[in-house]
Structures are given as C-alpha cells and as structure tokens.
Chains A and B, each alone.
Chain A
C-alpha cells in the first residue's frame, strides 16, 4: 500500500498553461506539505496544511495555489506556468505539524515546462 501517492509522475506542458498535481496520503496524518526540488537537487518547502488549514506559506508566487479538500489530500494548482517552474515537486505528510516528526514523502512529480 502506497503511503503518500502523487499524480501524475511526469508532467510536460507549455508555458502559460495551468496544471494541477494531486497528492493523497493514507497514513491518517493531519499535516501535509509541498516541496520543490530544483535542477541542482535543492529542496525547499512551499506550503504546509494541518487539518485543511494553511500553516506554512513560503515566499511562493501566487500563481501557485494549494488546495486541501480533506486532510488526506493536498493538491497543487499552478497557473500561467513559466520555464522556471520546471522542477520535481514532492508531497509529504507527518502526524501533525510540530517540529521533530518524520515526514513521509511521495515519489515526486517531475514537471517540465517547454
């Protein structure tokens, strides 16, 4: 059973398009995260939701909008895609939003913007 799953695994699209990435966790966790890994493999947090409430919102362009319909799902919608958005996006979850807990990562979605 996959703990944290993401769809799609690969996403190739043109500049200016709008796309979404879906994430689901079946661990019963309260907190979910989105991370971006750039071409140099540097990982940076983008957002975090705890029980459908936004708790971390880094300095991310407002073209990126997370949506959490329930605590098991955290989707990422990106408007007006730009070349610089090309990256691998990882979803993660943890039992709650406090520091010190293990985060469980999904397999990643590789987004390529042409």
Chain B
C-alpha cells in the first residue's frame, strides 16, 4: 500500500528565508508525486508534480521539489519565503497498482512566514 509522511506539521520561517517542507513516501510501484497548497478557506491548488523524467521539478510561485528514489523523498523548497506563502501544504502520491487517479495525501504542513 502507498502512504505519505510529512515531517513537521508546522514550519515557521522568516520572510526571505529558505522554505523546506519534507515529504517521504512508501510505494511498491514507481510513484507519481504531487505537492498541493491550500490557502485559508480555499480549495487545493497544484504546486508541482513528478511523474517521469527529470527528478527536479519546478512549480508555480518559485517552488521546486526533487524526487529522490534512494531516499523515497520528495521535499518541497523555495529559496526565499514571501508572506503570501503562508498556507497549508500537502504532499500526495498516486499510481497505485490500479493506476487510478486516487490521491493519497500526507497529513499536511502549515507554513507560517514571519515578517
């Protein structure tokens, strides 16, 4: 069975500092990996995804993530945090053996950005 673990339910950074949100996955088949962001009282929005090919993927708003198979990780980074980045971030995996669009989410990480 596939699963996702996000280390740190709450991350606080200063504006301009590096953002690092951690995601580890467990999968018996090559996974598809996603990062979604949820702003307060809104739905989820895709930041970036990895399916195949280049392991470093760039997303919207300056975020990027690197798929590391040996570490079963897909950590999300941004060089310089903005106040507007404060939100809930979810890592997710799909490509269960049935290859449906079913997403399995991590428990989420709340990013706080301090001025």
Contact = CB atoms under 8 A, between A and B. Distances in A.
B42 A108 contact: yes
Interface residues of B, number: 24
Contacts of B103: 43, 45, 103
A35 to B, nearest CB: 8
A92 B103 CA distance: 11
B44 interface: yes
B94 interface: yes
Instruction: Give the size category of A's interface with B.
Output: 20 to 34
Contacts, number: 69
Contact of A41 (B41, B88, B100, B102): B88
A32 to B, nearest CB: 10
Interface in B84-115: 88, 90, 94-96, 99-105, 107-108
Interface stretch (B11-19, B45-53, B62-70, B72-80): B45-53
Given A42-B107, A42-B108, A98 B101 contact: yes
A99 interface: yes
A55 B105 contact: no
A100 interface: yes
B43 A41 contact: no
Contact of B49 (A43, A44, A100): A100
A63 B103 CA distance: 23
Interface of B: 32, 36, 41-46, 49, 51, 88, 90, 94-96, 99-105, 107-108
25 contacts: A31-B101, A40-B107, A41-B108, A42-B107, A42-B108, A43-B44, A44-B105, A45-B104, A48-B101, A48-B102, A94-B101, A97-B100, A98-B101, A99-B95, A100-B32, A100-B49, A102-B49, A103-B44, A103-B103, A105-B36, A105-B45, A107-B41, A107-B43, A108-B41, A108-B43
Interface of A: 4, 31, 33, 40-45, 48, 55-56, 90, 92, 94, 96-103, 105-108
